[in-house]
Structure 1
Amino acid sequence: MGRIKNEYEILKGARDMLLPKLMSGALDVSTQGGRNMSQEGQLLDKKSLRTVTGNTANWKELAKDCIAFANAQGGRLLIGIENNDDVPPVEQRIDPGLPDLIRRKLGERTVNVTVLPEIRQTDNGSEYIDLQIPRSMAVASTPDGHYFLRVADESKPVVGDEVMRLAAERSALPWETQTTLHVSRGETDPQKLATFVAGIRASDRVKESVKEKSEDELLDHYLLAYGKWLTNLGILCVGRHQDRARLGTAPVIQFIKYDEQRKKVNKIAWDDFNLTPMELIEAVWREVPDFRERYELPDGLFRQHVPLYDEIVVRELLVNALAHRPYTQRGDIFLNLHPDRLEVVNPGLLPLGVTPQNLLHTTVRRNEHLARIFHDLKLMEREGSGYDKMYEVLLSQGKPVPEPKEGPDRFEVTVRRRILKPQIIDFMAKADQTFQLTQRERIALGLLAQHEALTARELAKALELSSVDVLSPWINRLLSWGLVLSSGRTQATRYFVDPDVLRRLEFPASTTLQRIEPHRLQALIVEDLSRYPRSAGGEINRRIGAEIPYKQVKRAIDALIAARQVLFEGDKRGRRYWLAK
């Protein structure tokens, strides 16, 4: 522990110097009046006001969350908003002295943690505390030496050797924003800069105010330049190839094809540093002919074509390899194509807190600013949905799920080529068309269709869930529709797809609005209020479909209110709704 404390003292000055810069760009979640505060996750958590007031105050738990955020990417705690709510209770007021109390209490219980509490007011007049926690420049902990890290929506303890790994992975300045090569901001590759700017301005994920920025302003906005120098990220994305080579850790990709005897029969390398990470993704997909091979499956009088390796899966594997690799470590990315599988090998270990067993539900971005660029250019999602999408695509094609594996100094993902059950392809397509399945339901149904039966415990393990108690959102509707059958009780419950249904593709496809998707329900409510303004919730429910549960309609109305599309007056049964202008 003495070594850690020495690092605290060394990095304390750097933290104080860089804190203003950090606060300007470290937190990527915005708050606007009474809008939906977003869901709890890697950068956000909600706490009841009871956590910091009265006899129920739990300062120890609050300190743990603050330490976890500080050791990750920073984040926000919305105090005064319950977990299942988007806005604080009506007429809730915050004691003006509470922010100072929070600063003092957390200051006594944390080391290397900065907290910035502020009272905010929503459109309905209620108040809550927006507690911002910047990313700490040194390792954050409790005074008695306990460490925590934010992983997805949980604050997990860091113990044993992981403490030293946490200290080693942290630096006073992230690799992306360093300017150690002293490359002038004017020494960009004109063509690559023009391509980057055009992609940003054409993206529907970028705000209009950002699209209006000049090329030079966009360099600053995406941290591609700082002052008069290009950052490492800038050299990587818009720099010249000779400067990219000088980085030492710019990505190199090698595609190697093996035959049945594990002999190399083809090799393609992208090792001249001419391409940016964004261009590498397109080049690999375009220049490897094996990725365009397809199966031909009989489909009545026609043929159904299924790719050996789906484009979505290959691109997602490449994006993950480029966006999440440690750029402080040398090593090539390998695409090893065997007769029965594709292996993607990336140098470096997974980020701390992520394991092969929790990839499906965990979001940790090692390179925050590169991930932001990939997101804005529509190359990836920032919500950690990449593996979910791969699961969905592979299962819908009757193939096994990806197989992640972590080695001593590398991370590897294997995708199998073989289709386990060709009939699953038609089954999944028709089931989705008939019942409009959610992504979770498609994944669960695909897993069950590939196996004769899975117990509740086996299914939870396959879905990387913590317990069988959280299976409900994945399978409840499948059970109610008869797509999935069950036998037994509790953890011994066995789930399976009726073989006759799988063979005949005959579903009980009765039409009902009970399965309507949330966005479609919201559209119905908007249309109804445009014709009948100042309506009560029950009146809306009766007009758009009495078979829809009122609670479901109420949730949709609350979401529209949070998005400022619907206004209201009154309370409980006397509440009336109308469209905002």
Structure 2
Amino acid sequence: MDQYLAALEQIEQNKKNAAALESERLDFKQEKKEKKETFQDIAEAAVCFANASGGEVVLGVADRGTGVEAFLGTDIPAELLKERIYTLTEPNLLVEVREVTRASSRLLVIFVPAGVDVYQTKKTSPTHRLKDMCLVMTPAETSRLHDERRGIDWSAQSSGRDIGEIDRAAAFKLRDLLSRVTNPAVQELATADTESLLVALRLLRTDDTLTNAGELLLCQPIGSQARNLLVYQHRATSGGEADFVRRWGAPVVSAIPDVMEVIANRIGITPVSTASGQQIQIEDYPLSAIREALANALMHGDFREDRPVSVEHSPETLLVRSPGPLVSGVMPSNILTHPSKPRFPHLAEVFRTLGLAEQLGQGVDRMFRDMIRSGRSAPTISEVGDQVRDTLVTFTGGPPNSRVARFLSTLPTHEQNDTDTLLVTTVLCDRKTITAAGIAPIIQRQIEASEAILRRLATGEAHLLEPSAGTAGRRHPNYRLQRDALIALGPAVRYQKRSVSESDAKVQEHIVDYGIINSRTIQRLFDIDVYQARDMLRDLLGREILVRVSEQTRGTAVKYGPGPKFPIKKYARSAPVEDEGTLLF
């Protein structure tokens, strides 16, 4: 369903008003007193979307109010509106205008594509869409967007520096990185002469000058050009004073290994045993995820801004902040599924050749996968700042959820490496059921594609999900975790948690009905595994609510009955049922 259709349905059903439904890709307008004012208003909204990732403008809906009264309608001809948008914008912006009817009102929907240039109206400066607002673009933002859309790559342009200015230590590090790459053809470059090496990496231009990427990676700065490119700060607590600070300038090829070593030295490891007895080592923050965040910050950060990439590290959070917003067209809401789009393609190509970043745009997926597989929440990616915007990646630390990490390690290998599967699992640790429509914005896919993923997880090798009985026949059922997954995840499934009093009551009711209880019965009553059942029985024995009543002392044959502190007044005791095993199993 198109975004505007879903929004119109919510307005008509009195769920939300238009203002509450506006987003980075949807805007609502109503006619002004004069037609020419309406044309200008819609042209400005169209420019705003064209300078971002495109979007939809619906004309004829009131900002406030819900129900049929919110549909004010419009009598402006669709072709006339399209023509006026074209003539009021520079360069001329071509949009699609479609008539729709809602609650007997005629509306116009303007579909604005992401532009191929930087647009403005003849009366206003360039603007772009940020969440549900249109903001005037700064000169730096306008220049950056112009370069991106014209394919102008700053990193491939001449730095004016020659091969003789390359730092020797950086050149040695470059060769070391090449020697570690798995591609034999790339490995051979490690032993090539310097000029051949630089030509192969396209760091040396035909005029014998280094590209800006070459200077950044391999040269020391000249005099007043020296500045910080990377800043690292460590704090014992997220709100405390920095207890360690280090700064790096160019050459970047030497700085990246240094900063990764500094981070690694301050990351702890938690051992977790899997069900098969294998032990996995869980880092406070997976270094592979941090490496990708750092590489992305350096590849996509705008070095023309006089601000460094900064890393702020504490046990609670690790933040990687890079100068400049996300590349045009890429947003936090589509970053997992949007094709790779580096700000500086030449620099990104060199990073990937050197093994400093993932191939095929998988770096963000790697961050998500490695964080979730380590028993932690997925990272968040956002744009921060008002006049000066930066890109921020936030990793949440703290003790890992070992139950989640242990469970995910038992999934088929291809599912362990599937970002969609991992996100679905973490969501179902908080929600009892999900639908394709509910999971779609989280995995950043269309509803039908999301349904196919949920269906695969229900019927495929993973056997992770099942449709609920009452919705199994629907086109888009409600999905929940299968019983074995619930048991394996145990207390990681938050809605499964019961208070001590609730658990006690359920055990006591069973004792009243059958006289005795055992570990297998506890597992069935609470959908838990043998270890959780053992811990629950130990607690009940320790509080003398239960006592052992069988001769056996180990295994599933051990039976328990009412203890000295069993609430006799609340429950009348009954004689033990001899054939409990037959009744229960």
Shorter-chain TM-score tier: 0.5 to 0.7
The aligned counterpart of 1:501 is 485
The aligned counterpart of 1:175 is 154
The aligned counterpart of 1:476 is 455
In structure 1, distance between residues paired with 2:365 and 2:321: 20
The answer as to 2:198 corresponding to 1:219 is: yes
Q: Deviations over 1:387-437 (max 9, x none)?
A: 11121112222211111111131111111114574212121111125x765
1:191-210 correspondence runs (5 A): 191-200=169-178, 202-205=180-183, 207=185
With structure 2 as the length reference, what TM-score do the two structures score? Answer: 0.53
Counterpart amino acid of 1:145? L
In structure 2, distance between residues paired with 1:302 and 1:502: 21
State the 1:213 CA deviation. Answer: 5.5
Q: Indicate which of 260, 278, 286 corresponds to 1:285.
A: 260
Give the CA RMSD over aligned residues: 3.7
Which SS does the other structure have where 2:331 is aligned? coil
Paired residues, what number? 355
Contact 1:316 1:386 in 2 (8 A): yes
Contact 2:272 2:282 in 1 (8 A): yes
Q: Indicate which of 231, 234, 240 corresponds to 1:256.
A: 234
Q: Deviations over 1:3-22 (max 9, x none)?
A: xxxxxxxxxxxxxxxxxxxx
In structure 1, distance between residues paired with 2:165 and 2:299: 24
Which SS does the other structure have where 2:409 is aligned? helix
The answer as to 2:355 corresponding to 1:397 is: no
Unaligned stretches of 5+ residues in structure 1 = 1-70, 73-140, 149-153, 507-581
Contact 1:210 1:218 in 2 (8 A): no
1:534-573 correspondence runs (5 A): none
State the 1:168 CA deviation. Answer: 4.4
The aligned counterpart of 2:332 is 356
In structure 2, distance between residues paired with 1:223 and 1:267: 37
1:178-577 correspondence runs (5 A): 178-180=157-159, 182-200=160-178, 202-205=180-183, 207=185, 211=189, 214-226=193-205, 227-239=207-219, 241-243=220-222, 247=225, 251-257=229-235, 259=237, 262-271=239-248, 273=249, 276-288=251-263, 291-297=266-272, 305-362=281-338, 363-408=340-385, 409-418=389-398, 421-433=401-413, 439-440=418-419, 442-452=421-431, 453-465=433-445, 467-481=446-460, 482-487=463-468, 488=471, 493-504=477-488
In structure 2, distance between residues paired with 1:208 and 1:339: 38
Contact 1:206 1:376 in 2 (8 A): no
- The structure, 1 or 2, with the larger RCO (C-alpha pairs under 8 Å, 6+ apart) is 1
Unaligned stretches of 5+ residues in structure 2 = 1-51, 54-88, 97-111, 121-126, 130-136, 491-585
In structure 2, distance between residues paired with 1:253 and 1:391: 24
Counterpart amino acid of 1:497? L
In structure 1, distance between residues paired with 2:401 and 2:458: 22
Counterpart amino acid of 2:310? F
In structure 2, distance between residues paired with 1:183 and 1:420: 48
Counterpart amino acid of 2:297? A
State the 1:355 CA deviation. Answer: 0.9
Q: Deviations over 1:193-251 (max 9, x none)?
A: 23324533553347469838532022233332222322322221122x243x6546662
Q: Are residues 267 and 333 of structure 1, via their aligned partners in 2, closer, same or farther at CA, if it must alter by over 3 Å?
A: farther
In structure 1, distance between residues paired with 2:377 and 2:309: 23
In structure 2, distance between residues paired with 1:476 and 1:247: 56
Contact 1:345 1:410 in 2 (8 A): yes
Q: Deviations over 1:52-110 (max 9, x none)?
A: xxxxxxxxxxxxxxxxxxx99xxxxxxxxxxxxxxxxxxxxxxxxxxxxxxxxxxxxxx
- Is the deviation greater in 157-166 or in 452-461? 157-166
Q: Are residues 167 and 252 of structure 1, via their aligned partners in 2, closer, same or farther at CA, if it must alter by over 3 Å?
A: closer
Q: Are residues 495 and 166 of structure 1, via their aligned partners in 2, closer, same or farther at CA, if it must alter by over 3 Å?
A: farther
Identity %: 19
Contact 2:231 2:311 in 1 (8 A): yes
